[in-house]
């Protein structure tokens, strides 16, 4: 059996991981939320504009 596919191997890998500090985690989380919000606003505005133009040309 593969060594890393055992409980001891998994625990060893968990100890090797560099877990982010609270400040870094907050910064990264804020960045993700901001980008997702901006993309959401962009796609809603794009949909509204496309609907407006399609309605305006009578399709």
Count of domains for the chain: 1
Q: Is residue 1 part of a domain?
A: no
Q: What is the reported pTM?
A: 0.66
Q: Is residue 57 part of a domain?
A: yes
Vertex 29: Cα angle to 28 and 34 (nearest 5): 100
Split at pLDDT 50, 70, 90, the class of 7 is: confident
Q: Is residue 38 part of a domain?
A: yes
Give the CA distances from residue 37 to residues 15, 23, 32, 43, 55, in Å, rounded to whole numbers and listed in that order: 34, 21, 8, 10, 27
Q: Is residue 12 part of a domain?
A: no
Q: Is residue 11 part of a domain?
A: no
Structural domain for 27, as ranges: 22-59
Task: State how far the Cα of 38 lies from the Cα of 32, in Å rounded to an integer.
Answer: 10
pLDDT of residue 3: 66
Nearest CA to 32 among 20, 50, 47?
Answer: 20
Q: Which tens digit of pLDDT belongs to each residue from 19-55?
A: 899 999 999 999 999 999 999 999 999 999 999 999 9
């Amino acid at each position: 059996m593969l060594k890393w596919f055992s409980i001891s191997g998994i625990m060893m890998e968990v100890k090797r991981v560099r877990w982010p500090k609270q400040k870094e985690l907050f910064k990264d989380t804020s960045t993700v939320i901001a980008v997702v919000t901006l993309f959401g606003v962009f796609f809603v505005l794009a949909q509204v504009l496309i609907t407006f133009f399609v309605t305006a040309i009578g399709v």
